[in-house]
Structure 1
């Protein structure tokens, strides 16, 4: 299992971020906090954190929200920390025989496949057929974790997402379904 050695400093900087606010037009604070909670749970489990995008964040039209610049800067910092940890901290199994055996049995997903999943950006809609953002994001995290660990992908045919409540917004269901159809057809390198 690939582990990322997150420090207490990393975790505290995400748990208690220094984000600036603006009276209108910023990102909805609850949406940002939901993303940060996901990041903290991955960090506490010493798991890699996939790149976080701002595509699914709603704008607060008439309320105070986080400035897009401060949120983007924090998300970029998290991605940079992950990149640095990937370079600096490679964890090796003490038992090399087990490691070699594991390497032979591990699936090899290409970097391009992983980037494709990590960088998928679904359009959000408040009306029509849309899936809950959290559920789709959690599923994508599981796919990326499986790819990173050299494991088979989660069962895509059994993936089910609740429909977003009208007016609340969610990922366009047709776009998500199309992506899942494509995901089901990709194969590991070995």
Structure 2
């Protein structure tokens, strides 16, 4: 069986997933059981199988977890798992490399621009979970300070904040990501 090097951060993000609810959603108990199972697999360093939404019951008139949010959570887990497996499968660099990898040079102004970026805060509507956006920004700053390429901006997905919960304005974050995508290291 393939091992996955899950980090405590992955498990914590899954534990903190605060899924929005609404009528006609997935039954709370089914989704909670799936999340608990995924957490147990992560803690054991095992593969989390893809979510079969056909196995989740839907409510008709009662409250349940919004299907889009549950499916987005499952997609996040699959993406994390894919990235972790790729990273762990990458062979170690040979000791006597022909030429050392060239470090990218990000300017202090570029790093400050990312570090000092702020986003509007809103409740409800289109707002992203703050912790996810902050984690991604931390990953960007670590890559910049190490002289590495930025994490994949096209692949990043953030959960929408649950209804009534505070989150970063999605439009502000998306605009920032568009600007970040155009950012190039100094020559």
Shorter-chain TM range is 0.3 to 0.5
TM-score, scaled to structure 1: 0.46
Based on CA coordinates, which of the two structures has the bigger radius of gyration?
Answer: 2
TM-score, scaled to structure 2: 0.46
